[in-house]
Amino acid sequence: MNIAEVREPTFFILLSLAGGVKHGYAILTESAELSDGRVHLKVGTLYAALDRLSADGLVTAAGEEVVDGRNRRYFALTDEGHAVLVAEAERQRRNAERAAARLRGAARVSGAGA
C-alpha cells in the first residue's frame, strides 16, 4: 500500500489493532476514542475497510468465537501493517514538527511587529 493512501479512518483502525487482537465492535469504539471522536465508522464501512486491509496484507483474521450468542471475529495487525503504521506515524510526526516550527517563527515575526 502506498503510504500516501493511508486515510484517517484507516490509520485509526490500524492504530487500534496495534494495541492487540480485537473484534469489530472493539475496533469501532477504540477508533472513536483514539481520534477524540472524529472517526465514527459505520459497521458496513468498518468491514469494507477490514476486507480491503486484509486483501492488502495489512490485517489478518485471527480466529472466531461465540460470546453471549454473538459471533466475534478477531483481527490482528500483520508485520506489513505494523510497518505501514510506523511509517505513517513518522510522517505525521515530521509534519507536526514542521508545522510547530513554522508557527513558532510566525509568532516571533508578529511579536516583533507589535
Task: Look at the block and give the residue holding cell 476486507.
Answer: 51
Closest CA to 58 of 90, 86, 83: 83
Is residue 61 at the binding interface for another protein, with CB under 8 A as the rule?
A: yes
User: Smallest distance from the beta carbon of 80 to another protein, in angstroms?
Assistant: 15
Closest CA to 74 of 14, 27, 41, 35: 27
Contacts of 98 (CB under 8 A, 6+ apart): none
Is residue 92 at the binding interface for another protein, with CB under 8 A as the rule?
A: no
One character per residue 26-45, x = contact with another protein (rule: CB under 8 A) = --xx------------xxxx
Is residue 46 at the binding interface for another protein, with CB under 8 A as the rule?
A: yes
Is residue 112 at the binding interface for another protein, with CB under 8 A as the rule?
A: no
Q: Which three cell numbers stand for residue 94?
A: 515530521
Q: Which three cell numbers stand for residue 8?
A: 484517517
User: Smallest distance from the beta carbon of 5 to another protein, in angstroms?
Assistant: 8
Q: Which residues are at the interface with another protein (CB under 8 A)?
A: 4, 23-25, 28-29, 42-48, 51, 60-61, 64, 70-73
